[in-house]
């Protein structure tokens, strides 16, 4: 299972990278806005140490505008994956990007049928938003199950990125299903390492070690 970091915070991404947890990065306009920094500068900094795919999102709503942005963003770094929204215009842009060898990530996906369309258009990645579905009372992980089954049925090569992850159980469930990638916010990654029994166990071992006679 690959881990992407769902963040535009360079220091958080660097920390996760140093821990061997970064196979790629996903950004979106909200995450970039949160940092209050120039987008290009942030992207260059991330790309200086992350060699896996870095998702950069377009903001145009028509295919021509998306393509113009996609070509520009793709020229910035060697490992861009252009994030395109799940609309007919977006899918039209994805098809042309696929023909031009530009990696794409179809975002704002909320149903297996949308994921099927993304794969048909030739998307490199598809990003179903699990947490936002849970928020409205729909079981987000069912979209991952359905999409994974459909892709397996037909041998689609589009990789599933489980996105809008809110807590460690989302990562666990995604891993049980066998999703290709989880894009994990830094705070969720931090939570995954902790277990109270680990802390208690370390303390007990260290306390006992003090009792071992030393020459």
Closest distance to ligand G3P from the beta carbon of 164 (Å): 3
DSSP 178: T
- Residues of this chain, 181-200, that bind ligand G3P according to CB under 6 A: 183
Query: Residue 91 in contact with residue 118, Cβ under 8 Å?
Result: yes
- Could you identify the residue written with the tokens 């490992």? 79
Residue 136's Cα: distance from chain center in Å? 21
Closest distance to ligand G3P from the beta carbon of 119 (Å): 19
Q: Which of 8, 66, 163, 189 binds ligand G3P (CB under 6 A)?
A: 163
C-beta atoms surrounding 168 within 10 Å: 16
Task: Give the range of 43-51, 88-96, 110-118, 126-134 binding ligand G3P by CB under 6 A.
Answer: 126-134
Tallying the residues shown for the chain, one arrives at 215
Q: Is position 26 an interface residue for ligand G3P (rule: CB under 6 A)?
A: yes
Cα-Cα end-to-end distance for the chain: 47
Q: Which of 14, 92, 120, 132 binds ligand G3P (CB under 6 A)?
A: 132
Closest distance to ligand G3P from the beta carbon of 45 (Å): 18
Query: Residue 126 in contact with residue 182, Cβ under 8 Å?
Result: no
139 or 152: CB nearest ligand G3P:
139
> How would you classify residue 203: left for phi > 0, otherwise alpha for psi between -120 and 50, otherwise beta?
alpha
Rounded Cα distance between 159 and 165, Å, is 17
Binding residues for ligand G3P, total number by CB under 6 A? 9
Q: Which of 5, 6, 80, 81 binds ligand G3P (CB under 6 A)?
A: 6
26 or 104: CB nearest ligand G3P:
26
Which residues are near ligand G3P by CB under 6 A? 6, 26, 28, 129, 131-132, 163-164, 183
């Amino acid at each position: 299972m690959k881990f992407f970091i769902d963040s535009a915070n360079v220091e958080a991404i660097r920390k996760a990278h140093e821990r061997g947890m970064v196979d790629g990065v996903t950004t979106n306009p909200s995450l970039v806005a949160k940092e209050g920094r120039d987008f290009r500068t942030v992207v260059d900094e991330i790309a200086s140490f992350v060699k896996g795919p870095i998702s950069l999102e377009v903001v145009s709503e028509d295919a021509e505008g998306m393509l113009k942005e996609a070509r520009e963003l793709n020229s910035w770094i060697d490992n861009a994956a252009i994030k395109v929204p799940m609309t007919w215009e977006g899918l039209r842009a994805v098809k042309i990007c696929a023909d031009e060898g530009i990696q794409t990530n179809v975002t704002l996906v909320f149903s297996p049928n949308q994921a099927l369309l993304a794969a048909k258009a030739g998307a490199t990645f598809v990003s179903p938003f699990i947490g936002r579905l849970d928020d409205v009372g729909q079981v987000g992980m069912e979209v991952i199950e359905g999409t994974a089954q459909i892709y397996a049925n037909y041998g689609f090569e589009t990789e599933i990125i489980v996105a809008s992850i809110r807590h460690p159980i989302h990562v666990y469930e995604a891993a049980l299903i066998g999703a290709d990638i989880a894009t994990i916010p830094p705070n969720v990654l931090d939570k995954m390492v902790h277990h109270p029994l680990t802390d208690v166990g370390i303390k007990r071992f260290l306390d006992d070690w003090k009792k071992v006679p030393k020459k």
